[in-house]
Amino acid sequence: MHSQLNPVGSMNMLSQVEVDQLHQSATSELYNLYRNCSLAVLNAGSHTDDAEQIYQQFTDFQIQVLRRERGVKIDLQNPPLHAFVDGKIIKGIQEHLSVVLRDILFTSSRYKDMTDISEQITHITFDILRNADIIRPETDPNLITCWGGHSINHLEYKYTKEVGYQLGLRNFNICTGCGPGAMKGPMKGATIGHAKQRNNQGRYIGLTEPSIIAAEPPNPIVNELVIMPDIEKRLEAFVRISHGIIIFPGGAGTAEELLYILGIMLNSKNQAQKLPIILTGPAESAEYFQGIDAFIGATLGEKAQNLYTIIVGDAQKVAQTLKAGLVDVLTYRKQIGDAYHYNWSLVIEPDFQHPFEPTHENMSNQNISFDQDTATLAANLRRVFSGIVSGNVKSHGIKAVREKGPFKISGDSHIMALMDKLLKSFVAQQRMKLPGTKYQPCYEVIGG
């Protein structure tokens, strides 16, 4: 199939330099990045979370940006057919394709050499979000981030929709990782809540990054998509623009997200911060939260457990709790003179900002012991779970495991036993990958 289409929004006009940057070349890393992210967006709705498999399935896919008299066109060769209806591309996918063009060009031209200075990383995160028109000071500050697994069961998915519905009735906007499962459910529910309130300005923000977008492509409800450069800036974007966080059941990626926010909030410099964190799911998922809570208590302690509230089987209470918590969030930010729409005052240490490359060496070298403060332990645990996500669904991680075997995870014997138990529960509950294939662990817990 061959198709040409116009970018939408600000990307319908590009400079000569920008067009040349995206010209296909065997040595062009930027082009390959642009191609792969575009393919991921076009392949939304696929039934696999194996990024490498997706790329191999569409080896003949090509995309070019062409100069034309009235701007530019995107030329597609052999794209996934389900992105089209009667020969015309689906409007939402066309918008998401334009986002890929916008974010890849902006980040590459403005931040070719990423800094490792903490303040600059926070500014880069802000700058990318601002360029994407995510930060809107003229709107009500009411954004709830929802984290959770892409592979959840039907009861859990139905519950995520119910929570989203209750949030929508209270005019909350939704931000997720943009994919399926617990990322799609809250958005889907919120659309009904917004419709009942005659709110036609509902925001469904999806934050992703290049290495995960193929495995978790943007769901069709996302009306504001942003592609951050890496997982660390994606996570920082989540917490800085949010006024509350909900964590639904999930696997290694959800554990990574929970450890990230807990590690930040455990920092004594953030002791006064107001950011409600709620772990929730249907009554049938109570055992899941007991396991997560036990793991956090045994590794990071009671102080970490006190940072979140567990609410099981009560979607209305979740929304009411966040509505009450929003008052505290906004009051605190007003008192200290911080922005309502971007939490500048939240201190995020370099351990949580610098990109982690999940190589076999880096995975085995993580310090997983009690011989460090809890925030640092949370950062190291976060990296381990991030590596497991990579080995499960990300192309480079899958290749590394195939070539060198599973990642070796070692550390304090007590923590290893706790981690092994938690990971086995994720596997048993089919939370590591989409159901349909037998899961082969990409990791080996030493001493678990």
Instruction: With cut-offs at 50, 70 and 90, classify the pLDDT of residue 432.
Output: confident
Distance of alpha carbon 383 from alpha carbon 357, whole angstroms: 9
Listed in order, the ranges of the chain carrying CATH 3.30.1850.10 are 2-110
Range 299-302 contact pairs with CB under 8 angstroms and sequence separation of 24 or more: 299/377, 299/381, 299/415, 299/418, 300/262, 300/266, 300/374, 300/377, 300/378, 301/374
The domain made up of 2-110 is a member of CATH 3.30.1850.10: yes
Q: How far apart are CA 148 and CA 167, in angstroms?
A: 16
- Confidence (pTM): 0.93
Please write the tens of the pLDDT for every residue from 89-148. 999 999 999 999 999 999 988 888 777 788 899 999 999 999 999 999 999 999 999 999
Q: 309, 278 in Cβ contact below 8 A?
A: yes
Identify any residues that bridge with 89 across adjacent strands, giving them in sequence order: 84
Tens-digit pLDDT profile for residues 313-358:
999 999 999 999 999 999 999 999 999 999 999 999 999 999 999 9
- Do 217 and 43 meet the contact criterion of CB atoms below 8 Å apart? yes
Mean of pLDDT values over 46-64: 82
* Residue 93 structure tokens: 């996918």
pLDDT-based confidence at residue 426 (cuts at 50, 70, 90): very high
Residues of the chain with CATH 3.40.50.450: 117-448
234 confidence band (pLDDT: 50, 70, 90): very high
The pLDDT value given to residue 448: 60
Please give the Cα distance from 387 to 398 (Å, whole number). Answer: 10
Distance CA 298, CA 300 (A): 6
Average pLDDT score over residue span 394-420: 94
Query: What percentage of the chain has pLDDT greater than the value 70?
Result: 98
Is 214 or 176 the better-scoring residue by pLDDT? 176
Residue 42 has pLDDT above 80, yes or no: yes
| pLDDT higher than threshold 60 for residue 225 | yes
d(CA 289, CA 239): 21
Which pLDDT value is given to residue 54?
Answer: 82
What is the CATH T-level fold of the domain 117-448, as seen in this structure? Rossmann fold (3.40.50)
Tell me the pLDDT band of 72, cut-offs 50, 70 and 90: confident
Q: Taking the alpha carbons of 413, 415, 418, 424 in that order, is the dihedral positive or negative?
A: negative
**Which position has the token pair 């080995």?**
391
